[in-house]
Amino acid sequence: MPIRGAATIRAELVRVRDAVRWVHDATVRGMNEGRDVYTLMRDIRLPRELEVGQGYGCVAWSVRAIWEGYAGWFHQRSTTELYPVPVSEVYPDVVELAGGPAPVAARAQARLRSGDDVAAIHLAEMALAADPASRPALEAYLAAHEALLARRGGINFWETGWLRHQIARTRAQLDAQAAERA
């Protein structure tokens, strides 16, 4: 429903402004303390009185945008950040050293069982970089996205849409594989 009434509209806008300012200031304070962007994304939360809902964006994404707006794209974690070679370029090498996609996919499933959905996606992506048709990796990837959707779906419009897209795309890959085997 639309928000009505000048006083209500003003109060809502002031609360949004105060929430944005709070996230900004907390991010800058964390930067000045030498904390990295991922720690700040994980740790910064709005105080209860400034909760504004995160249906269209979320605090963690805003923290990252503020951090990168001030500090830029170079996070000073690795020399490789200076060059046009993404870390995903070496995923197949890591998977080979780990014994192939199956053990990496198994580790993704283990991380998923422990509730670490995002780590499971990282591992599944590594396995899929080595073998895009790896069924265990696709299954881990699908399960991790489904778990994230179950836990976070409906909170944020963009995140929900992305998770649903990845689930549909991965299911289609698995279905195509099943059809080929039949």
Proportion of the chain in helix, strand, coil states, percent, rounded to 5: 75, 0, 25
* Per-residue tokens: 80: 């490789």
Residues 100 and 155 in one domain: yes
User: Does some domain include residue 110?
Assistant: yes
Task: Tell me the average pLDDT of the chain.
Answer: 93
Please write the tens of the pLDDT for every residue from 84-99. Answer: 999 999 999 999 999 9
Where residue 140 falls among pLDDT bands split at 50, 70, 90? very high
Task: Please check whether residues 63 and 121 belong to one and the same domain.
Answer: no
Residue at a domain's end among 37, 71, 105: 71
Are 96 and 43 contained in the same domain?
no
CB 128 within 8 A of CB 137: yes
Domain that holds residue 95: 86-181
The predicted pLDDT at position 54 comes to 75
Residue 125 lies in a domain: yes
Q: The pTM is what?
A: 0.80
Mean pLDDT on 67-75: 91
What's the confidence (pLDDT) of residue 76?
82
Are residues 101 and 28 both part of a single domain? no
Number of domains in the chain: 2
Whether 127 is in a domain gets the answer: yes
User: Is residue 163 in some structural domain?
Assistant: yes
